[in-house]
Amino acid sequence: MLLYEGDGVMTLGFDATITEYSAGRIRFTVKPSTVRDNGVIVKLLLTNPANPVKNIRVVLTRDEYNF
């Protein structure tokens, strides 16, 4: 689970696949691979200067509400 504050558009790649996307929250799965470009990449594609994306964190789904 990727959580963030602010207004923007983010995406994930490499071994990560987005399963649910909503404001401030991206649920994703990771299927590890051993090929080039493995791991998880997070890309910030767009942000609102008046309310920029901030406080980006990756947590286990079960811990989403513990922060």
Q: Residue 34's pLDDT is what?
A: 86
How high is the pLDDT of residue 66?
77
Look at residue 61 in the predicted model and tell me its pLDDT. 83
Indicate the domain borders of the chain: 2-62
Query: Closest Cα partner for 28 from 37, 40, 38, 20?
Result: 20
Tell me the pLDDT tens digit for each residue of 21-64.
Answer: 999 999 999 999 988 879 999 999 999 999 999 999 999 888 87
pLDDT at position 28 is 96
pLDDT at residue 37 in the model: 78
- Mean pLDDT, range 9-23, rounded to an integer: 95
CA dihedral sign, ordered 27, 24, 67, 55: positive
30: its two tokens: 């990771």
